[in-house]
Each structure stands twice: as structure tokens, then as C-alpha cells.
Amino acid sequence: MTSLDTLSGRLVLSPGQPLPNIQRQGVRRAERLAVGRPAAAAPALLGTLFTLCGHAHTLTARRAVEAARAATGTALAPPALADRRVLQLRTAQEQLRRLLVDAPPVAGLAGATPAMLQRCPLWQPGPDADAVLASLRAWMEEDLLSMPLPDWLAAWEADGAGWLKAWTAQARSPVARLLRRLWPWGAPLRTPHRALRLDAHDGSAAALAARLAAEAPLQGGAAVPYATGPWCRAHGRDAAGADNAWMLFASRLSDLVRLASPDGPASGADTLSSGALSVDERTGLAWTETARGLLVHRIALTPQDSVAACRVVSPTDWNFDPHGPAATALQGVRELPVLQSLVLAFDPCVAWESHAREPSEEGAHA
């Protein structure tokens, strides 16, 4: 039986060391299990293999297969509204889990109470997505933000870090308490990066597909590495202020607020972008924005419509590349709380451990 650790490996971080200071040990690429399978079965299989954000893997693989069947150079239309709604709700759920369940224990705080979680409509979603979103907005205004959701989002977009500092000082929700705890460690830790973006029409998607086919390194060794996360949304307006570990982590809250926003300009339904392109004969590339950032699938098909090759690139592959943004920031880390703030900011989807001078506990699957 193949274990999850065997498929995904684990990150070994070495704070305060020159590049490369991140290793990924014991990994077997799970997507290779799709090779030789019928193309129609690949999306469900990949969604099962990658249990974290499995819905996004299924959607992205399906679109990569559709692109592979199209004429070379064809860009697919956006996903149907029903698919976008599911992605919207699942991504909101992922962000809420980070903020209320996963991150507080890392910072030495208690997570949200069971009663608070039980009141959240995301844990009991009904068949009507619009009704769930309306209930989510009401719950967030009462239990999470202590103010109207549009007012919080407008203040964030107007003043970013300044507003967030003021809000965390006066709000009494578990998320405000968590951000207050993380600020002294995360705010001074600079995280220089360029936002990773893909487009079917500007050559960026085709260029990445070629790099993946050649098995070239993701990060090209530039002075400022690429990063991906909720602060890099194609439809977001937060990237300019996300230059430190605290703001990177806080972008999960702003992302959740935007995902819960009513339809309209910059609405939750349009917060997450996606694309798919036929990059070569019988080869498709698809990408979807998820809770952690941009997820990419490249799938090549045989003439018999089975999977000839499959490559999955997760946000962790970019952010925790040995020459990526986490590795760059890691060179200046000396204390365990700062290290934990950095890991929370970039949120790897695999287990991690540290070779820091101060002993640390193994991080859970993020």
C-alpha cells in the first residue's frame, strides 16, 4: 500500500542557512499513477490521490483533458457557474479551516470552539449554494468580523496593513486574536516575490507547459522568485501590500471575505480565476486558483485516449522550491516562532520538519 508521505514526501527546512535550505524527501510523484489510465478516469483518480483540494484537482484535470482533445492553440471557455460555485465554497472552507483550526495551535492558541464551528454554514452545506453563501456572510459578520462584510472589505482594500492592524487591536474574534499573536514574528520577516500568473493568450501558459515537458526547474534562478497564494489572485487587489509573512497569512482572511462577497464586481464567484489551453497535439495545460495558490495540470493523451504523461504542479512546488520565496526568506530566520510564521504564510500541503537550533515539532499536513 502506498502511503501519503511516500507520494507527497516531506519538507525539511534549514533556517539561517544559505540556499538551498529546503529539501523535499521521500517523494514519489502521485500523478504518475494516472499514466496508462483512460483519460475519462484521470480527473476522479487525481482528485482522490490529492486529497487536499481534491475538488480543484478534479476540475483542473478534467479541463486539462478537454484541452488535450482540442485543436492545438485552443483556449477553453471558463468553467460553468456550477463548477465555479463549488470551487468558491470549497476554497472558503479551506481558508476558514486554516484560520480557525490549523493555525491557532501552531501559534500556541486554542482553536475555535465546536459551537462556533457548528454555527458556520460551510460545515453543513446545503444543495443551494446561494443560500449557503448568504448564511456564510451573516455568520462571518457576527462571529468573525464583528462588522458588515462590505465595510471590512472596503477598509482592507483602502489601507491594507494599516486597517488590519487597527482591526486586530479592537476585534475580539479568534482570527483577530491569532493575527495579534503572529504580528511580532511575521511582520518583520520580508518575503520578496513576484506574483505567478498564467494566461492563455500572452504566452505564459505555453512557456510553462514547455518547461514542464522539458522537466526544467520551476524557479529560473531570478533574483526575485515567483510565489503563488491568495495574495496573488488575478482578480485581487492585495498584492502590493503582501511583502511580509504576516500579510501573506492575513491574505487568507481577506480572501475568505471576498469569496463570501455577493455577486457583482470583484464578487466571490469571480475571485478565483482558471484557464485551459491546448499547448501541443493531444496535450493540454489547465490551471485553477485554490486556497494555497495556483494549481497546474499538464496532461498528454495517446491516440487511444489514455494518459501518456501527467504533471501536477502545486503551490507548494513554487513556494517551497529550493530557490523559491520561502527559501529566500528562510535565510534570515533564527527563532522558532518566526519559522512557524513563515510556514503558516506559505502553507505547504505536505508535512514539514525543521533543522533549527531550537527543537520544533513536526508540522501537520497543511
pLDDT digits 0-9 by tens, 107-120: 999 988 898 988 99
Confidence of residue 357 (pLDDT cuts 50, 70, 90): low
Per-residue pLDDT for 264 more than 80? no
Q: Per-residue b/e over 159-189, b at no fewer than 16 CB within 10 Å?
A: ebbebbbebbeebebbbbbbbebbbebbbeb
| Residue 105, all three cell numbers | 495551535
Is residue 12 in some structural domain? no
Rounded to the nearest 5 degrees, what angle is found at the Cα of 302, between the Cα atoms of 296 and 307?
45
User: Between β-strands 351-354 and 194-195, what pairing exists: parallel, antiparallel or unpaired?
Assistant: unpaired
As a whole number of angstroms, the distance between CA 82 and CA 313 comes to 25
Mean pLDDT of 198-202: 95
pLDDT at 237: 58
Orientation of helix 54-69 relative to helix 42-49, angle to 10°:
150
Per-residue pLDDT for 57 more than 70? yes
Mean pLDDT of 300-321: 96
Per-residue pLDDT for 52 more than 90? no
Is residue 347 in some structural domain? yes
pLDDT at 221: 76
Q: Domain residues for 299? A: 30-91+189-264+273-354
User: Between β-strands 194-195 and 226-227, what pairing exists: parallel, antiparallel or unpaired?
Assistant: parallel
Confidence of residue 262 (pLDDT cuts 50, 70, 90): confident
Is residue 342 in some structural domain? yes
pLDDT at 364: 36
Q: Which residue has the higher pLDDT, 24 or 236?
A: 24
Is residue 62 in some structural domain? yes
As a whole number of angstroms, the distance between CA 365 and CA 353 comes to 11
Long-range contacts of 39-42, Cβ-Cβ distance < 8 Å, separation of 24 or more: 39/65, 39/68, 39/69, 39/299, 39/301, 39/305, 39/306, 39/307, 40/65, 40/305, 42/299, 42/307, 42/310
Q: Which residue has the higher pLDDT, 317 or 222?
A: 317
Mean pLDDT of 186-200: 94
Is residue 254 in some structural domain? yes
Per-residue pLDDT for 248 more than 80? yes
Is residue 195 in some structural domain? yes
As a whole number of angstroms, the distance between CA 47 and CA 51 comes to 6
Is residue 204 in some structural domain? yes
Confidence of residue 362 (pLDDT cuts 50, 70, 90): very low
Mean pLDDT of 75-98: 94
Q: Which residue has the higher pLDDT, 72 or 172?
A: 72
Is residue 298 in some structural domain? yes
Q: Which residue has the higher pLDDT, 107 or 235?
A: 107
Residue type, 360: S
Q: Which residue has the higher pLDDT, 223 or 358?
A: 223
**Residue 307, strand partner residues:** 301
Q: What percent of the chain has pLDDT over 70?
A: 90
Q: How many domains does the chain have?
A: 1
As a whole number of angstroms, the distance between CA 194 and CA 225 comes to 6
Rounded to the nearest 5 degrees, what angle is found at the Cα of 249, between the Cα atoms of 246 and 254?
110
Rounded to the nearest 5 degrees, what angle is found at the Cα of 13, between the Cα atoms of 10 and 14?
150
Mean pLDDT of 100-105: 96
Phi, psi of 77 (to 5 degrees): -70, 160
In Å, what is the CA distance from 207 to each residue of 211, 270, 309, 336, 362? 6, 25, 18, 38, 36
Of the candidates 250, 225, 243, which has an alpha carbon nearest to the alpha carbon of residue 324? 225
As a whole number of angstroms, the distance between CA 82 and CA 30 comes to 28
Per-residue pLDDT for 2 more than 60? no
Per-residue pLDDT for 366 more than 60? no
- The top-scoring range by mean pLDDT among 151-165, 228-242, 256-270, 315-329 is 315-329
Of the candidates 135, 168, 155, 153, which has an alpha carbon nearest to the alpha carbon of residue 258? 153
pLDDT at 222: 80
Phi, psi of 244 (to 5 degrees): -150, 165
- Please write the tens of the pLDDT for every residue from 144-188: 999 999 999 999 988 889 999 999 999 989 999 999 999 999 999
Confidence of residue 10 (pLDDT cuts 50, 70, 90): confident
**Of the ranges 38-52, 119-133, 150-164, 193-207, which one carries the lowest mean pLDDT score?**
119-133
Mean pLDDT of 339-359: 84
Q: What percent of the chain has pLDDT over 90?
A: 70
pLDDT at 158: 87
Average pLDDT of the chain to the nearest whole number: 89
Q: Which residue has the higher pLDDT, 84 or 241?
A: 84
